[in-house]
Amino acid sequence: MNSSQIRHKNFHALFNDYISRHPDQPQRGMLKQFAQQLGLSDRYLSHIKCQRKNIGNSVARAIETALDLPHGWMDREHDRPAPPADERERLFLDTALTLFRAQPDYARELMLDLLRQQLAAPRANLPPTALNDTTTA
């Protein structure tokens, strides 16, 4: 799959996700609302949706910025994640998903902030149990 196809596939996934998060709204006009959220023209998004236009670098980065996605997200394939490796991982994923579904905006910011803090922390600052868990995994 080339980069243009990957970006189109990711755009459709994002748009379908947007639609699924707004089940109470009519289908008609969803592209316009999505375009407003992205800060892009609905006419341009219509061309992208119908694959009459490709998604260039600047539009890909604009989509990532508008949706708080990591830089380069639009350029990578995002297949379904592998099933949990063990019971602890399944418990973590279930708990995180439950929190996210209960309070999506709050949970998203809380989880992203916590994960960013942990990724930015030097390994020396991690608790000893965390170091043991990462070396045995």
| H helix intervals, the chain | 3-20, 30-38, 42-49, 57-66, 87-102, 104-120, 128-136
Residue 125 has pLDDT above 60, yes or no: no
Query: Mean pLDDT throughout 45-68?
Result: 94
What local confidence, expressed as pLDDT, does residue 135 receive? Answer: 46
| Tens-digit pLDDT profile for residues 65-85 | 999 999 999 999 887 667 788
Query: Mean pLDDT throughout 89-115?
Result: 84
pTM for this model (two decimals)? 0.57
Q: In which band, very low, low, confident or very high, does the pLDDT at 128 lie, cut at 50, 70 and 90? A: low
